[in-house]
Chains A and B, each alone.
Chain A
Amino acid sequence: MIQARHLSKNYNGKEAVKNLNLNIRPGEIFCLLGANGAGKTTTINLFLNFIQPSSGEALINGLNVAQQPTKSKQYLAYLPENLQLYPNLTGLENLDYFSGLAGKSYDQSELTQFLKTTGLQESAHGEYVKRYSKGMRQKVGIAIALAKGAKALLLDEPTSGLDPKAANEFGAILRQLSEDGVAILMATHDLFRAKETGTDIGIMRDGVLVEQLKPQDIGHADLEKLYLTHMN
């Protein structure tokens, strides 16, 4: 569902992503770990076609995102580190708007149900988003992905800044989405969340995917050791 084939991106001679090969199937959660500047966000931006690859291909559901940007986006949802919504619209209105842009039409009760699924308390549904915390906005972001019926989900540091409870709830939602057959690529610094949530873990350094492993094959401490080894 989310595929990279020899994907590279250069910025003024510096290679931000080097020859990345990746295949995330439906139901898989691939957690991409790496330090700042490792190339995680660049990778996600390549899948979103926000930037053009220098070489190689980024594919969503088999579609080359650079060649079919609009169509490929029909299958994916995106949640950035600090999701911003329209502050003068309510959570419900934001959800209605973005799902409408994705070509979906839901009535009020269906929209409310999506928000409830993410755990956003009902009293907040009708409040202007400018009064939301980051965690609440992230929940609306997940609801947008749910409402879109996305088959691929791209997450860029989604749990950064969330309190442990909110991060735990967020992980549960991701696992549920994975069970529903969504392929997820999550760039994160959170080793604990990666091990707890992911079905696959990759470590990126200087634009290269230097390690790829299954979370069940490694303990928390060993994962941290491995990560630090690659960072040094």
Chain B
Amino acid sequence: MIWKIARKEIKETLREGRFRIAGIIVVALLSIAVVISYNYYNYVQKQHAQASSNARNLWTSQDEKNPHSAAHYGTYAFKPKSPLSLIDQGVDKFTGISIFLEAHRRNEAQFMAAADQTGLARFGDLTPDFILLFIIPLLIILMGYNSFGKERENGTLQLLQSQGVSPRKVALGKWLGLYIPISLLTLGLFLSAGVMLALTPDFGLFSWTALLLMALVYLIYYGVFANLTLIVSAWTKSGGLALVLLLSLWIITCLAAPKAASNFADALYPYPTRQEFMASVTQDQQKGLDGHNPWNEEAKRLEKETLNKYGVDSLHQLPFNFDGYRMQKGEEHEAEVYFKHYQLLKAQFQQQSRFYSLSAAASPYLPARFLSMAIARTDYGLHWDFADAAERYRLKMMEALNMDFADNSAYGNWAYKADQALWEGIPDFSYTPPSLGQIALSHLSNFLLLITWLAVSFLGLFWITRRI
């Protein structure tokens, strides 16, 4: 019986010009968005591969030079583009794609795609996630706002009621009638994106599981919107009023709530400005060891401790070059300072994330948005993870260079030069993002919130339609 109602709803919807036009527009927009994203992705991947290869060549083809000079010469760590960024680009455009790795400094990621765009980019891009998160909920509203209203206005509701069908079955049938075309459209999009990704060899580690999980997130999100639409439709007396209320709900849910949450999170847990951050780092660094300055108080203390440890009177008697050793110890101190200050930033980020999670109770858009970006590996969490991996690599690289200098030269011998073998001996940066399981686990609260939204909205639907 539920299926019968659903089939009738779908049949009516398909025969209505309103849905046909809206459906064609959405499918056209989605197709354009996927093609644009696919081309952009291809373009970025090629650039990424080329830049990675160039950076490595530049590093390994250095002339003979002092290892610490090579440390200052530096290299780049490139953030790999996730295959699912084809669907959700998340914050990728704003976080930068590469980090310059050099001695003494932990650099921020640079070369943000957004920085290369014109002012028109302020209006946003036509991307699949935009259509999935904003436009399809509008389509659901357009399809379902009059679901109960038209039965009431046309007079078919009485005949429906007189058939002895339970209100819950009517509600479920109408829900399915609204949900099935939308889910088919969504699955069609994900399937075509999956096929495109699977057939493109350069797209790296594509996973159908991740794609299906992302599709599941959107399907739950649409389930919530279908419920909200039918609740308002059943609650209001006229279709026009239902449409106005639903559009207001869409504005609050998809536009106002995320921006309000973002503003509140920033106000409650503000990040320091770049100047404040760098001033704090510099202040702390100056309190400790400066690897380049042998007259620094901390350098003198290290010198004394080292001489005592090895039981010698002069730095020349040490079995290694103390200059290289001091450089390494300076690097370690600077890394500790960076670690401390980045931890403070991270703590703010986590507070903001927690606040966002709480705000997600006010709008189903938020948990869906976070989950989509996380599964696509285009969220801030992933960027932090990449930045941390790049920093760990930088520290190992600096250690290898400094210790080569320390182990293979005598104190005061700044003329020491390492050759290509050392540069090549340092492995290229390789980043493995967190597994899907880790991502799912760390976003469990968002999953639960989205499922709660679905369950509560279903209860609301059954309650409001209990006496239709």
B4 in contact (CB, < 8 A): yes
A101 in contact (CB, < 8 A): yes
Interface centre among B5, B156, B164 (most CB of A within 10 A): B164
Q: Is the CB of A70 within 8 A of B166?
A: yes
A10 in contact (CB, < 8 A): no
A101-B4 contact, Cβ under 8 Å, with A70-B164, A73-B164: yes
Q: Is the CB of B158 within 8 A of A50?
A: yes
B25 in contact (CB, < 8 A): no
A86-B12 contact, Cβ under 8 Å, with A101-B165, A148-B163: yes
Q: Report chain A residues within 8 Å CB of B163.
A: 73, 98, 101-102, 148
Q: In the assembly, what is the distance between CA of A141 and CA of B164, in Å?
A: 15
Interface centre among B4, B16, B158, B162 (most CB of A within 10 A): B162
A62 in contact (CB, < 8 A): no
Q: Report chain B residues within 8 Å CB of A97.
A: 4, 8
Q: Is the CB of B11 within 8 A of A78?
A: no
Q: Report chain B residues within 8 Å CB of A78.
A: 158-159, 162
Q: Is the CB of B156 within 8 A of A85?
A: yes
Q: Report chain B residues within 8 Å CB of A100.
A: 1, 4
Q: Is the CB of A84 within 8 A of B154?
A: yes
Which partner residue on chain B sits nearest A49 by CB separation?
A: B161
Interface centre among A82, A85, A141 (most CB of B within 10 A): A85
How far in angstroms is the closest Cβ of chain A from B448? 35
Q: In the assembly, what is the distance between CA of A71 and CA of B11, in Å?
A: 28
Q: In the assembly, what is the distance between CA of A85 and CA of B159, in Å?
A: 8
Q: In the assembly, what is the distance between CA of A118 and CA of B161, in Å?
A: 23
Q: In the assembly, what is the distance between CA of A163 and CA of B172, in Å?
A: 40
Interface size on B, residues (CB 8 A): 20
How far in angstroms is the closest Cβ of chain A from B465? 14
Q: In the assembly, what is the distance between CA of A105 and CA of B162, in Å?
A: 18
Name the interface size band of chain A.
20 to 34
B256 in contact (CB, < 8 A): no
B309 in contact (CB, < 8 A): no
Beta-carbon contacts of A28-72 to B below 8 Å, as 1s and 0s? 000000000000000000001010000000000000000001111
Q: Report chain B residues within 8 Å CB of A154.
A: 162
How far in angstroms is the closest Cβ of chain A from B348? 56
Q: Is the CB of B12 within 8 A of A88?
A: yes
Q: Is the CB of B159 within 8 A of A84?
A: yes
B15 in contact (CB, < 8 A): yes
Q: Report chain B residues within 8 Å CB of A77.
A: 162
Q: Report chain A residues within 8 Å CB of B164.
A: 69-74, 76, 101-103
How far in angstroms is the closest Cβ of chain A from B278? 66
Q: Is the CB of A93 within 8 A of B11?
A: yes
Q: In the assembly, what is the distance between CA of A97 and CA of B11, in Å?
A: 11
Q: In the assembly, what is the distance between CA of A153 and CA of B159, in Å?
A: 13
B160 in contact (CB, < 8 A): yes
Q: Is the CB of B154 within 8 A of A87?
A: yes
Q: Which of B280-318 contact A (CB under 8 A)?
A: none
How far in angstroms is the closest Cβ of chain B from A153? 11
Q: In the assembly, what is the distance between CA of A141 and CA of B162, in Å?
A: 12
A48-B12 contact, Cβ under 8 Å, with A87-B154, A100-B4, A103-B1: no
Interface centre among A48, A74, A97 (most CB of B within 10 A): A97
Interface centre among B15, B155, B160, B163 (most CB of A within 10 A): B163
Q: In the assembly, what is the distance between CA of A141 and CA of B15, in Å?
A: 22
A89 in contact (CB, < 8 A): yes
Beta-carbon contacts of B135-174 to A below 8 Å, as 1s and 0s? 0000000000000000000111011111111100000000
Q: Is the CB of A89 within 8 A of B4?
A: no
Contact partner of B156 among A48, A72, A84, CB < 8 A? A84
Q: Is the CB of B8 within 8 A of A80?
A: no
Q: Is the CB of A80 within 8 A of B155?
A: yes
Q: Report chain B residues within 8 Å CB of A144.
A: 159
Contact partner of B162 among A73, A85, A87, A93, CB < 8 A? A73
Q: Report chain B residues within 8 Å CB of A83.
A: 155, 159
Q: In the assembly, what is the distance between CA of A89 and CA of B164, in Å?
A: 21
Q: Is the CB of B161 within 8 A of A86?
A: no
Q: In the assembly, what is the distance between CA of A85 and CA of B154, in Å?
A: 8
Q: In the assembly, what is the distance between CA of A69 and CA of B468, in Å?
A: 12
20 contacts between A and B (CB under 8 A): A50-B158, A70-B165, A70-B166, A72-B164, A76-B164, A78-B159, A78-B162, A80-B159, A82-B155, A83-B159, A84-B159, A86-B154, A86-B156, A88-B12, A88-B15, A89-B8, A101-B4, A101-B5, A103-B1, A148-B163
Task: Given contact pairs A48-B158, A88-B16, A103-B164, enumerate 6 new A-B contacts (beta carbons under 8 Å).
Answer: A48-B161, A73-B163, A83-B155, A84-B155, A88-B15, A102-B163
| 10 tightest A-B CB contacts, nearest first | A73-B164, A84-B155, A78-B162, A101-B163, A100-B4, A88-B15, A101-B165, A74-B164, A84-B154, A102-B163
User: Which residues of A are at the interface with B, using a C-beta cutoff of 8 A?
Assistant: 48, 50, 69-74, 76-78, 80, 82-89, 93, 97-98, 100-103, 141, 144, 148, 154
